[in-house]
Amino acid sequence: MAEADIDDLIEIIEKEGNIEDIPKVIPMMPVRDVVVFTDMLLPLFVGREKSIKAIEESVEFDRYVFLSVQKDSEMEKPGPSDVYDIGTIARVQKMIKMPDGRIKALVQGISKARLVEFVQKRSFFKVRVEIISDVEPDSLDIEIEALMRNVKENSEKLLALKGEFSGDVGDLLSHIDSPGKLADLVASNLNLKVEDGQAILETTDTVARLTRVNDLLARELDLSTVQAKIQTHVKDEISKNQRDYYLREQVKAIHRELGESDDKLAEIVDFKEKIKKCKLPEECEKEALKQLTRLEQMHFDSSEASVIRTYLDCIVELPWSKTTKDFLDIKKAEEVLEQNHYGLDKAKERILEYLSVRKLNPKKKGQIICFVGPPGVGKTSLGRAIAKAMKRKFHRLSLGGIRDEAEIRGHRRTYIGAMPGRILQGLRQCGTKNPVFMLDEIDKLGNDFRGDPSSALLEVLDPEQNFEFSDHYLNMPFDLSDVLFVLTANMADTIPSALLDRMELIHISGYTRQEKVVIAKQHLLPRKLKDNGLTRRNIQFSPNAMESIVSEYTLEAGLRELERKLDSVCRKIARKIAEGQKGRFAVTCQNLTQYLGPPQYINEMDQEESQVGLATGLAWTEVGGEHLYIETSLFPGKGELQLTGQIGEVMQESARAALTYTKANQEALGIDKEAFDSNDIHIHVPAGAIPKDGPSAGIAIATALVSAFTGKKVNNKVGMTGEISLRGRVLPIGGLKEKALGALRAGINTVIIPEKNKKDLHDIPKSVKSKLTFICVKDVREVLDFALEAE
């Protein structure tokens, strides 16, 4: 309240208004958000059309207007039922018309009144009112005086807290000796809710009204006290921050005077901002800030400061919360896989299954997939295709030859030149915590006195543990559960069993001749043309030329040798063009020797016809399936057995078992008993520089032995694989799919396999099964019936 209005207000309060002159029917104006009390001076801004007309009507006649509060302050056009019945009759002391059409009116509360009826409703409200008189006490007893004194003192305290108390205010309060007038004055200056103000207005008992005002005043005083404390606290905090800022500026000035750089302070601030942006887990952030505090207390150029600085750099550069959004459109993913890889149906099907489960249940812990197969079949490129299909970052880590555990877990910071392990370094390079992480050549891990890397990988590749992977350098847990780990290996035998148990193996056997031709035309040739600066216009392959390259110049499960041959052809044509020759160069079966020389492999097997003592076995190798010749020769001697061709112990045992079976069944096989006593036996496996081992050549050795002793030829179009027992049973073997592909590449059309391997035919492609005849046998007798030619 302004001090200039104090004297006027005292005069108004002391003045007894003549309420008998107030007409019974007066204009009525609804007001919003304010309750007008008796003797209250209040400026009103009037903008509604009906309200403006009501004020104008009031000013034109006797200046009286009835003010009643709206029940809903948001209502623009209130009706008779939307205002309270009890309001205040006010006198319009002054009215000013604003340029925008609104009216500013200064009104003074005269008396409380009850709305009896609405006389007029159309252009503006006109109502019949009834004056309400207050119920005053007969005398001011001690309790009432104490109540009034308490209200006055609390009012002064409240004004003092707000900084509005003055001596004039004290005089004003001391001049009031009526409980009702005191209640109305204090209530008009409190920030009351409409409901509370209306309840006070409707209370006619002045003592009860003052008691209610006293309760509201006490509550307002408590709120103001708490608010003042908060403001004081905030002011103190601001003062402290200003003091700290001033001191820091002084420290900077001192450093500048000493010629020292303030780069250290800038670096500390930069680290704090980066740590905050990283959104580290609570414990990790606490450790990072602890190390930052240590750095702040050290000399800028000390060696320990350099170590901590490098450590903090590692922390803030790791993707603690950065992820890429997975793209899980299964149809699109299938298209991406088909575009990048031909064949490999089983592997692609498993990848699409993983993506489908990921789409339906994003929180499922991912399985570790391991592609096992010979070199050059596309294991690594499959990992890239997965990343491309999911739109994730891709990182490849080659594990071949790694012998130090610190390569996986990192070095402790106490060592000079310590650094994080290769896992965290890879994530640091990717910049996201959910890349496709390929661990290549996991079967070639080593171990020595520096530790066992495969044991360190157990925590990395276990979904139940890797959400808290601990790197020795970082020394705080890092969540690897969002990383999709894809592994590759040429063979599963050398992978440690504990590690093998944590992954799902997907075997990739290799490609058939027809698949190689398609891949060469669709993928390899376009790539080689681009690498050598050629276009489709420069070179043309005849329909059979590509098949000739595949069948006569390559003999592998993968595609690398085929890729090199195509590269050789493109290089020679590039040279011709560079020398100035023009035209489109044709590559045909007839001129293929000009580009690649004579054929390195014949289309059919090395043997042109069936021979005695020469059987064809099938072997599994790291580079795929291959055919294997078993040669047996007899010469005069004492029945001794000689084995050559770098045969391992298991294969040697198979040869002895085959010989024992042949001797034990000589009569049934039609072999003369004296043939064993008068001849030495020499079993040789060609390609003597290559080590060979395994039991699956057992039936091939037995067939070669029986052929040599009986003189019957072994069909050169029949390949066989199976372990032999002393009783002649044919036992199951592994790698049937690879061996079948090797037989097909070698031109074999009939393959003899153990009966118990019949279930494995399901995994062999239909294109392979349509070109091969598989014969399932239980006993060596059955093998001999099919493999030996009749005399």
Confidence (pLDDT) at 164: 60
- Name the band, by pLDDT with cuts 50, 70 and 90, for residue 604: very low
- Of the CA atoms within 13 Å of residue 399, those in its CB half-sphere come to 28
Rounded Cα distance, 335 and 509, in Å: 22
pLDDT greater than 70 at residue 9: no
Task: Report the pLDDT averaged over residues 238-243.
Answer: 75
The pLDDT value recorded for residue 165 is 52
Is pLDDT at 650 greater than 80 in this prediction? yes
pLDDT at 494 over 80: yes
* Residue 146 predicted with pLDDT over 70: yes
Mean pLDDT throughout 691-716? 89
pLDDT at 594: 87
* Separation between Cα atoms, residue 618 and residue 701, nearest integer Å: 11
Q: Which helix (H) or strand (E) holds 82?
A: none
CA angle 458, 464, 466 (to 5 degrees): 60
538 pLDDT higher than 80: yes
Q: Please report the pLDDT score of residue 167 as a whole number.
A: 54
* 3-class secondary-structure state, position 333: helix
DSSP H or E run through 335 = helix 330-340
So what's the pLDDT on residue 632?
Answer: 93
What average pLDDT score do residues 589-611 get? 75
Which whole number is the average pLDDT over 72-80?
Answer: 85
Strands 41-46 and 103-120, sheet pairing? antiparallel
The residue-averaged pLDDT of 559-566 equals 88
Please give the Cα distance from 15 to 10 (Å, whole number).
Answer: 8
Position 4 scores a pLDDT of 43
Instruction: Give CA torsion, residues 145, 148, 150, 152, to 10 deg.
Output: -140
31 closest CA partner among 50, 58, 9? 50
Out of 50, 433, 712, 739, the active site residue is: 739
- Cβ proximity of 384 and 440 under 8 Å: no
Q: How far apart are CA 279 and CA 56, in angstroms?
A: 65
Cα 646 from Cα 687, distance rounded (Å)? 9
pLDDT, mean of residues 356-369? 80
Are β-strands 641-644 and 624-636 bridged in parallel, bridged antiparallel, or unpaired? unpaired
pLDDT single digits (tens) 724-740: 999 999 999 988 888 88
Burial degree of 399 (CB within 10 A; 0-12, 13-18, 19+): buried
Give the Cα separation of 138 and 134 in Å (integer): 12
State the pLDDT at residue 262. 60
What pLDDT is stored for residue 8 in this prediction? Answer: 52
Do 661 and 724 contact (CB within 8 A), yes or no?
yes
What's the start-to-end Cα distance of the chain, in Å?
132
Residue 522 pLDDT level (bands cut at 50, 70, 90): confident
The Cα-based distances of 325 to 242, 252, 322, 331 in angstroms read 44, 45, 10, 17
pLDDT score recorded for residue 447: 73
- pLDDT score, position 263: 67
Question: Taking residues 290-306, what's their average pLDDT?
Answer: 80
| Dihedral angle sign, alpha carbons of residues 35, 36, 41, 47 | positive
Mean pLDDT of the chain: 83
pLDDT at 363: 77
pLDDT category at 776 given cuts 50, 70, 90 is very high
Q: How confident is the model at residue 775 (pLDDT cuts 50, 70, 90)?
A: very high
User: In which band, very low, low, confident or very high, does the pLDDT at 16 lie, cut at 50, 70 and 90?
Assistant: very low
Residue 325 above 80 pLDDT? yes
Of 7-11, 540-544, 687-691, the one with minimum mean pLDDT is 7-11
In this structure, of 173-182, 322-331, 573-582, 716-725, the range with the lowest mean pLDDT score is 173-182
Residue that has been written with the tokens 């640091």 in this structure: 428
pLDDT above 70 coverage of the chain, percent: 93
> Which residues are documented as binding site for ATP?
373-380
The pLDDT, as a whole number, for residue 326 is 82
Q: What is the pLDDT of residue 261?
A: 55
Dihedral sign for Cα atoms in the order 689, 694, 698, 700: negative
With cut-offs at 50, 70 and 90, classify the pLDDT of residue 2. Answer: very low
Q: Average pLDDT of 739-764?
A: 87
The DSSP code for 298 is S
Question: Helices 263-278 and 303-317 sit at what angle, rounded to 10 degrees?
Answer: 30
Q: What is the mean pLDDT of residues 628-639?
A: 89
Q: Residue 436 contacts by C-beta under 8 Å, 6 or more apart in sequence?
A: 383, 384, 386, 387, 390, 392, 393, 394, 395, 484, 486
Q: How far apart are CA 778 and CA 757, in angstroms?
A: 10
Question: What integer is the mean pLDDT of 368-394?
Answer: 86
Please tell me the predicted confidence (pLDDT) of residue 168: 59
Q: Give me the catalytic one of 111, 548, 696, 707.
A: 696
Q: Within its chain, how far is the Cα of 37 from the centroid?
A: 65
Is 739 in the active site?
A: yes
Position 768 confidence tier, pLDDT thresholds 50, 70, 90? confident
Q: Which helix (H) or strand (E) holds 752?
A: strand 750-754
Running DSSP on this structure, what letter comes out for residue 175?
Answer: T
Please give the average per-residue pLDDT across 24-31, as a whole number: 89
Q: How confident is the model at residue 15 (pLDDT cuts 50, 70, 90)?
A: very low
pLDDT (tens digit per residue) in 652-672? 999 999 999 999 888 888 888
Please state the rounded mean pLDDT for residues 235-258: 73
Predicted confidence (pLDDT) at residue 607 exceeds the cutoff of 70? no
Nearest to 388 by CA among 440, 330, 337, 439: 337
- Residues belonging to the binding site are 373-380
State the DSSP H helix or E strand holding residue 667, giving kind and residue range, or none if neither. helix 666-669
What span, in angstroms and rounded, lies between the C-alpha atoms of 386 and 334?
A: 10
- State the sign of the Cα–Cα–Cα–Cα dihedral 440, 444, 445, 449: negative
696 is catalytic: yes
Higher-confidence position of 366 and 204: 204
Judged by DSSP in three states, 455 sits in helix
- Kindly report the backbone phi and psi dihedral angles of residue 607, in degrees, each rounded to the nearest multiple of 5, phi listed first: -80, 130
pLDDT above 60: residue 481: yes
Least confident segment among 29-43, 593-607, 618-632: 593-607
Helical ranges in 127-205 per DSSP H: 142-161, 167-174, 179-188, 194-201
Q: Is the pLDDT confidence value at 348 over 50?
A: yes
Reference 622, options 692, 574, 552; nearest CA is 692
406-451 pLDDT, tens digit per residue, is 888 888 888 888 888 888 888 989 889 889 899 988 888 877 767 7
pLDDT band at residue 605 under the 50/70/90 scheme: very low
pLDDT for the residue 406: 82
